[in-house]
Amino acid sequence: MIARRGRAAWAVIAFACAACATAKPAPGTLAPRQSVALACSSQHTSDGWVNCALAHMTLRDKVAQMVWPQLYGDYVSGDAPAWRRLSSLVREQHVGGLIMSIGSPLEIAAKLNALQSMSDLPLLVSADLEAGTGFRARGGYFLPNAIDLGGAVWFPPEMALGATGDTTLAREQGRATATEGRAIGITIDFSPVLDVNNNPANPVINTRSFGEVPESVAAMGVAYMHGIEAGGMIPTGKHFPGHGDTGVNSHLALPVVNASRARLDTVELVPFRAAINAGVGAIMTFHGAMPSLDSSGVPGTLSPLVLTGLLRDQLHFKGLIVTDAMDMRGVLDLFGAPEAMQRAVAAGADVLLMPADVPHAIDAVVQGVESGRYTAARIAESARRILALKWRLGLERARLVNLDSARAIVGDSAHQALAAQIAERSITLVKDSLGQVPLGRLSRGARVLSVTYAHRSDLGAGVTFDAELRRTFPSLRSEYVNADEASPDYWHLLSVADSADVVVVSSYLAAGSTVSDLSAPQGFVQFVNELVQRGAHPVVVALGNPYLLQQVSEVPAYLIAWSGAPVSQRAAARALIGAAPISGRLPISIPPLASVGAGLARGIVTATTSATTP
């Protein structure tokens, strides 16, 4: 994503979005109705305001509260088709909330202010902030120079917190995330991830989870949740009843978890029970089937046995049930959009997230009432939960954010320091059979080769890592391998490695919504193994998938940094050169090579112990 820079750009954004607030509705849209907010402005209690609002809303209005479209924090002009569509969803369709995707902080804040201003009732704004507000709210990179435009604080992922073993850090990350998120108008955080990642082949959860030990995931998740609440935001546990033991990406197909109910009770459900008992405000559903819970084969999102029978009746969850994105193949392939919408509501969902066609989604849910599939009272029940959250967050009194205040909060130096602390505490040295780490024992003149393996779209891969290494090794040579190429020139790299004192190979391959297989290509694996065979003694650093060691098990040194975020890159480099201690412990096992809790400790290499001739 490319974003604009400077104060002038921010001023333009604020002015443009203010103009958006006065744009006229598109022709052919729904007729305006009496202002619910105005009719209920005299109400001064939650029950009074919610009851008043419900009394003034049509069935379609109540359904619209349940449908939350996605938007981007990009700049658009007031007459752009994208803006006209979005403003129509707020003004004419009366959607109750939004899910914010990527954008720079002040662009997000200005756009949300404009949308809140044109909405009759205040909007709930959600976002996936699993690795901090900077996970979504950053300016991206300016091309062709790959200049990082900065933004909110981007923390390491949850598994990095798991590697620290420190629930206090988890709470503080949650608090910092919520503080920054609220400053730009986001009110619901779709985290913590409470999935127990007990399947190394999981292509979509992976480092998004705190780990594979249910009790540890529960403790970290509850601490993180309390931090989010302390920062003034609603946390969301996901993906119920558990997305950890899957080898299929629910964005691409329907996963099936063939675990017994007894196993689910002792593994997958443990963190969710803990979060519910601690009062978590929202739960997001899993687009996957669990035959032991529902033998029909439908995903949990569409199953009354899962959402109502288990979550509501057995676990006594009283908060908001949010579906995972309703444009994902895990639900669409089986039934299509209209049927999937109706099934989710019949199952017990309160919020239908990211439908591809918002008006049609609203119409489909209304038709479910008209056909007798569920009652109008069932719709009012969900609308009531949504409205009650708006009151709880104070949005009926103050729905806009102050852009000047946002600049004083977002990216705060204390939050940056916290992210750096978590990243450094998380670095885990799984293997060092030759005692190579830290590399700071080498002289400044050592010939160090750094090989970055990443997808071309990952513009930041290796940039911070190599820059930090170069501070200690000025003659560092950087090489880049594009993971999207079918046949990279590994022979060139091997020839360069022959003259190096140390070869550091960093992999940025990570789980994600488009990933179906986390395995590294065989060509890359053969390259690393060839380095071993030639006696190059490579140090492999995993800044993505931590299970990579399973494919390159012969390497003498293996370090995990958990993500390619700049803060994690810097922490990995500092640990590698001995500028920071190494203390992380695996919150997962890497079968059959390392067990939970494994990790070698290393201290700081001081000036008196460094600078040894290679």
- Which amino acids are annotated catalytic? 324
Question: What is the maximum alpha-carbon separation in the chain?
Answer: 80
Is residue 170 within 8 Å of residue 209, measured between CB atoms?
A: no
C-alpha span between 118 and 94 (Å, rounded): 10
Phi and psi for 321 in degrees, rounded to 5? -100, 120
Give the angle 299-313-259 at the CA atoms, nearest 5°: 40
Is residue 335 within 8 Å of residue 321, measured between CB atoms?
A: no
Is residue 332 within 8 Å of residue 352, measured between CB atoms?
A: no
DSSP 74: -
Phi and psi for 177 in degrees, rounded to 5? -60, -50
Is residue 306 within 8 Å of residue 344, measured between CB atoms?
A: no
Strands, E, within 272-401: which ranges? 282-285, 320-322, 352-353
Is residue 438 within 8 Å of residue 575, measured between CB atoms?
A: yes
Please state at what angle helix 337-347 crosses helix 376-392, rounded to 10 degrees.
Answer: 80
Scanning 146-206, the segments in alpha helix (DSSP H) are 158-164, 167-183
Phi and psi for 190 in degrees, rounded to 5? -80, 60
Give the angle 131-465-506 at the CA atoms, nearest 5°: 90
C-alpha span between 425 and 159 (Å, rounded): 12
C-alpha span between 583 and 597 (Å, rounded): 11
User: Which tokens is 316 given?
Assistant: 């006594």
How far from the centroid of its chain's Cα atoms is residue 598's Cα?
A: 26
User: Which tokens is 240 given?
Assistant: 């119920």
SS3 state of residue 490: helix
Token look-up 């444009």 returns 327
Token look-up 């104070």 returns 394
Supply the DSSP string of 387-405, one letter for each residue: HHHHHHTTTTT-----HHH
DSSP 479: E
C-alpha span between 614 and 611 (Å, rounded): 9
C-alpha span between 456 and 394 (Å, rounded): 43
How far from the centroid of its chain's Cα atoms is residue 217's Cα?
A: 16
Beta strands 477-482 and 448-454: pairing type?
A: parallel
Contacts of 196 (CB under 8 A, 6+ apart): 209, 211, 212, 213, 214, 217, 242, 244, 245, 267, 268, 270, 271
